[in-house]
Amino acid sequence: MIKAESGPATNRTLTIAAFAVLIVGALVYVLDRPADSVAFFSTISLDDVFPSLFGRIGQHLPTFCHVFAFSLLTAACLGGESRAALSACLIWFGIDATFEVGQHSRIAEYIIPMIPDWFESLPVLEHTKSYFLSGTFDVWDVLSIVVGAIAAFILTAVIQHRKFHHG
């Protein structure tokens, strides 16, 4: 008998996959990035303790992980169906691509004046200006965003349509 997985099982699988990928992305910062590269991981960086674990792929893996994982989580919250997955992947592609392109010096100069000063008093938003001022636009990061969104959609479709063989 062939049966498609749906509902809570799909959402649980998508959520587990998303958190697993987020952990991998976080490990890049903990193991391969200098302590001062990200505020969240500055106290637990092991960059100077171990040799680089992720190598060159670690330069773009967090970007892939972010769009991939958040697309899966959003798809799960929206029910895990194909239309929800497509919407989630397109939304997170748009968000991540916008932030990446916003780091380009020619674009950042227009964004910085639009960021309100009161952002600096909020714990999560306090680094917004420095993100655009100090960030570096990278075409390879844009590619990893594209690949992450596509991979999330494909994984969602595979999980949703996975076939079970019952003896």
Number of domains in the chain: 1
Domain-embedded: residue 152: yes
Structural domain that includes position 94: 8-102+137-161
The two three-digit tokens of residue 125, written as one number: 């938003």
Domain-embedded: residue 121: no
pLDDT tens digits for 91-138?
Answer: 999 999 999 999 999 999 999 999 999 999 998 888 899 889 888 999
Domain-embedded: residue 144: yes
Domain-embedded: residue 114: no
Domain-embedded: residue 47: yes
The two three-digit tokens of residue 2, written as one number: 């062939």
The runs of H, that is alpha helices, within 49-138 are 61-77, 82-101, 105-111, 128-134
Between 145 and 2, the higher pLDDT residue = 145
Domain-embedded: residue 156: yes
Domain-embedded: residue 113: no
- Range of lowest pLDDT (45-49, 69-73, 78-82): 45-49
Query: Rounded to an integer, what distance in angstroms lies between the CA atom of residue 12 and that of residue 63?
Result: 23
Domain-embedded: residue 124: no
| Beta carbons within 10 angstroms of residue 105's beta carbon | 11
pLDDT tens digits for 38-58?
Answer: 555 555 545 455 667 677 787
